[in-house]
Structure 1
Amino acid sequence: MAFHDLTDGQIAPKAAKSLLGLGSKFITTPKKTTGCIQATSDRFQCDFFIKVYYAGDERRDEVTDDTVQRSKLYVKSKWNPNECDVPNWACRRISRFLACSNELFKERRAKSNLLPHQEALLNSLQTDKGLGRCAITYDQYMEDCLIHLRNTTCYQQLSEAEVMEAVAILEEELKLD
């Protein structure tokens, strides 16, 4: 367990060590389980229909996902074939599958993985996910942020003209890829 109280006079609650010391990979259990999977179901059906639509297409078989390196700016298409373009067996099969899977996902109350006093403490604390596990006063946090942002070894202050030039160069580089 690693938690550091960096406040003047160590004013963080004593129980904070047991809660914040759980580590950055600890995730609290949500109050309720996942109930609605409609968005996931729609996406799965879309992907399934596209795979069926292009199944056996020789042009598609020549270029696999392993051989194509996609740009980091790749945006997946929202195109979906019409149901009349997909065989009836595929529509029936996906409908049965989604009906059965939707029955499995009923919203239920979940059992918390925190003790009651830990839940109350977590609700009372304000956290900064990038900060790590420590307690610090707001004034000290703001002062440290400003010191960091004014550090010329980390950041360079640019004029508006320099910023616009950098943006133009970046736009050109993105068009080339």
Structure 2
Amino acid sequence: MLKKLFAKITDIVLGILVTVYIVLEELVWENIAEPIYRFIHSLAILQKPEEFIRGLDRHVLLAVFLVLFVQVELLGLFALQLIGTGKVIAGTMLYAGKIPVAAFTFWLFRISKEKLMTFGWFKRSYELILSIIEKIKLSAIHQRIAARLKQVKAWFKIRLYRPRLYIGRFIEALRNSMTFGKIK
């Protein structure tokens, strides 16, 4: 009986964690952070900074990346804590506020990944994280929750169509204004 109770509690905790992971990964990343990352990466003005970053010493890159990464993760955890304690608006605002920093950190990682992977412990940690994520995605509980949340995601996509359209137009206007060298 104690084993069954422990299994149920474990399932509930895993269910909550997987749900949070799916919501943050699929809804927040795909709909908000990834478009910001693509926009940042597409800016021609960033070609010179990318070259500069690629020329930095690997230790400097590691220090900068780790400071940004730890900051972003701590902000995310703090935001989830706020949401969990009933301060949903404050937590949501904090989480939304960290998204541009996370997109920048992701951009920095993509640029400096080759140099960062020269640190054996970093490469092993990265591979461990990827394997954990893969195991989570292949787990039965993830599959069940993902199937349920697929309906929620479809509902959000329908509801967010107009805002995403406006954001897309705004980003296109920004891109055009930077391309032509003037702000409209």
User: TM-score with structure 2 length normalisation?
Assistant: 0.23
Larger-Rg structure: 1
TM-score, normalising length from structure 1? 0.24
Structure with more relative contact order (C-alpha pairs < 8 Å, separation 6 or more): 1
